[in-house]
Amino acid sequence: MRPSATTTGRVPAGRARPRRTARLEPLLWLGPALLLIGGIVLWPVVEMVLTSLREISRTGVPRGWAGADNFSALLDHPELVPVIGRTIVWVAGIVAVTVALSLGLAQLLHARFPGRRLVRWALIVPWAASLVMTAIVWRWMLSYFYGITNRVLTDLGVIDSPRDWLGDPTIALLWMMWVGVFVSLPFTTYVLLAGLQTVPDEVHEAARVDGASRWRTYWSVVFPLLKPALLVATVINVINVFNSFPIIWAMTRGGPGNATDTTTTFMYKLAFVDQSVGQSAAMAVVNFLMVVVMVLLYLRAVRWKEIG
Amino acid sequence: MTVPAAMMRKVLLTACAWLVALVVLAPYVQMLLTALKPHEELFASPPGYLPESWQFGNFLEVWRVAPIWEYLRNTVLIAGLSTVLAVAVALPAAYYTARRRFRGRRMFLLLVLVTQMFAPTALVIGIHREMLALGLIDTYAALILVNAAFNLAFSTWILHAYFSSIPVELEEAAWLDGCGTLQALLRVTLPLAVPGVVTAVIFTFITAWNEFVVALTLTSTPETQPLTVGITAFIGQYEVQWQYLFAASLIAIVPVVALFAYIERFLVSGLTAGSVK
């Protein structure tokens, strides 16, 4: 631990306490936080692992240890491989498109133009609004007979006749991925905007003096400076998108069948639709391990060793 | 660059930005227009862009056709109490880790950073098992505890950053004037950290207000269901009452968007754990 000049705790003279109380003092300040994290965040992890190793009846009563039975049943599930493949496409697709669009958007909103404040506020709406409600309105807009999307696209001549967008699994997945991009754009753009604000004006001037074009300045000077922000935004997005349950739940319920499920909705359906709690817990453990890997990547991205 | 080219650029840029705003707002405008349509117009194919007869009454009717008051009361109580709990627990932890060096400090900060990345979605099976064991299914307590616990990390980080940025000398001066540690904290440091507290409060409140997965899993009656889950009752097996569904949605969305706009500029630093400065 490196002591830093500004925040070193200096206990004023004459206030030294007996050693025992001094050692317990941190617990007094951090205790409630530790209790809450331990009881509500860590306990469910333990509970989940234990459940995955138990045989649980359909009514939820434990019947003894199952060893690796739940995991082997999960591995034998015919939908497992397609679901995992779809999850990878889901996360990679949404995050890649979000980051690419956000780079442009951040640049756009960083520039000065009339009404910039209003446009930035508009961008907040999908971030602040409930994810389920946003997903439900997209489902309504994509409705086969009554949706506005079909009306707009036929009026523009893009399509000849209405399409059943959410009826076909592949097209439904693409639309849901668009909704995923739609709700991830605000956060990502804001992080990149914050990153752009750290680029000093002199950098642009120096590049201009050297005769670099705007494009060249961006790629050789600005983009490298944005990298830390980009990395953090990407990893946070990966975790968020991986956990994104409401979009799929509200728009297709993962259906028809399991055709649009990702690991999160699949896990949920195993537990609360199929009532196979043990298998679902096994899926949850697998999910959790993937999240742990992503968190480790995040810690590297924020360079944990240098903060604190 | 010549002047007309610069002008063109500016016009193009402005047009692009306004187009983005339009695309971003379109679904919510559609929400509003649908909420203002009478029942028959919702099932016109192809649909009209604007309502032919504007039913502003839908926004009053919605309170009668579904227990919106109850849902809203639940949402306000759950979001409010989880915010109070999260911030009350985060404040001492953030202050202490910002001011003192002690064994386990880094461990604690690491724990906070890691839990910030855990969404309740990934743990929902475990949370359900735990609440079942504790007999807390279908109670406010369960939702308040979960929302508070999963938002604790954000509050702790942002408050930690705020406390760290306030010079310790200000507190030392208060000590010399005869204040105790706690008194110096309450009278000197806390007032300076108000922007941080406001950000933590609003952000936690909005996250809890919008929470869906845990509420879907742990509640089953209108006595405890928040609005996010309650509105899904408008989606029946054969028919969806879209106009009421979206009227209720807008009632839930408008206040939080206003709050969000208010803390906009503080958000990024908090969400990225201080790594993007």
Beta partners for A56?
A62
CATH number of the B70-271 domain: 1.10.3720.10
**In this complex, which of B10, B98, B102 lies closest to A7 when CB atoms are compared?**
B98
Q: Does A130 touch chain B (CB under 8 A)?
A: yes
CB < 8 Å to B277, chain A = 198
Hey, how many other C-beta atoms are within 10 angstroms of the C-beta on B90?
A: 28
CB < 8 Å to A44, chain B = 123, 125-127, 129-130
pLDDT score at B221: 92
Query: Does B21 contact A123 at a Cβ distance shorter than 8 Å?
Result: yes
Question: Which among B263, B276, B241 has a CA at the least distance from the CA of A236?
Answer: B276
A211 burial level (CB within 10 Å; 0-12, 13-18, 19+): exposed
Integer CA distances (angstroms), A113 to A190, A284, B11, in order: 17, 47, 8
Closest chain B residue to A134, measured at CA: B27
Q: Per-residue pLDDT tens for A176-193?
A: 999 999 999 998 998 898
> Could you identify the residue written with the tokens 């537990």?
A271
**Mutation for B interface: A41, A264, A274, most B CBs within 10 A:** A41
Evaluate whether A177 touches A93 at the Cβ level (below 8 Å).
Answer: yes
**In this complex, which of B88, B126, B277 lies closest to A47 when CB atoms are compared?**
B126
As a whole number of angstroms, the distance between CA B268 and CA B277 comes to 9
Integer CA distances (angstroms), B276 to A102, A103, A220, B165, B268, in order: 16, 15, 20, 16, 8
Q: Per-residue pLDDT tens for B223-252?
A: 999 999 999 888 877 788 999 999 999 999
Contacts of B276 (CB under 8 A, 6+ apart): A191, A194, A195, A198, A228, A229, A232, B268, B269
Closest chain B residue to A36, measured at CA: B149
Q: Per-residue pLDDT tens for A128-149?
A: 999 999 999 999 999 998 999 9
> Could you identify the residue written with the tokens 């000849």?
A160
Domain boundaries, chain B: 70-271
**In this complex, which of A30, A232, A304 lies closest to B93 when CB atoms are compared?**
A30
Query: Does A119 contact B249 at a Cβ distance shorter than 8 Å?
Result: no
Residue A3 scores a pLDDT above 80: no
CB < 8 Å to A272, chain B = 217
What is the pLDDT of chain A when averaged over all its residues?
86
Closest chain A residue to B130, measured at CA: A44
Closest chain A residue to B257, measured at CA: A128
pTM for this structure?
A: 0.88
Beta partners for A54?
A65
CA angle B256, B23, A172 (to 5 degrees): 95
Does residue A141 or residue B182 have the better pLDDT? Answer: A141
ipTM of model? 0.89
Hey, how many other C-beta atoms are within 10 angstroms of the C-beta on A30?
A: 24
Q: What percent of chain A has pLDDT over 70?
A: 92
As a whole number of angstroms, the distance between CA B197 and CA A81 comes to 45
Q: Per-residue pLDDT tens for A59-92?
A: 777 778 877 888 999 999 999 999 999 999 999 9
As a whole number of angstroms, the distance between CA B90 and CA A159 comes to 54
SS (H, E, C) A233-280: HHHHHHHHHHCCCHHHHHHCCCCCCCCCCCHHHHHHHHHHCCCCHHHH
Residue A2 scores a pLDDT above 70: no
Q: Does A219 touch chain B (CB under 8 A)?
A: no
Q: Does A3 touch chain B (CB under 8 A)?
A: yes
Q: DSSP H helical segments within B117-231, as ranges?
A: 120-134, 140-165, 168-176, 181-184, 190-192, 194-210, 213-218, 227-230
Evaluate whether B113 touches B157 at the Cβ level (below 8 Å).
Answer: yes
Contacts of B108 (CB under 8 A, 6+ apart): A30, A33, A34, B93, B97
**In this complex, which of B30, B89, B122 lies closest to A137 when CB atoms are compared?**
B30
As a whole number of angstroms, the distance between CA A83 and CA A159 comes to 31
Q: DSSP secondary structure string, B198-228?
A: HHHHHHHHHHHHH--HHHHHH--STTT--HH
Report all structural domains of chain A as residue ranges with CATH numbers, in order of start.
Answer: 71-306 (1.10.3720.10)
CB < 8 Å to B112, chain A = 33, 37
pLDDT score at B115: 87
Evaluate whether A287 touches B114 at the Cβ level (below 8 Å).
Answer: no
Q: What percent of chain B has pLDDT over 90?
A: 57
**In this complex, which of B27, B123, B213 lies closest to A45 when CB atoms are compared?**
B123
Beta partners for B235?
B240
Question: For B120-131, what is the mean pLDDT?
Answer: 92
Query: Does A26 contact B100 at a Cβ distance shorter than 8 Å?
Result: yes
Question: For B65-93, what is the mean pLDDT?
Answer: 95
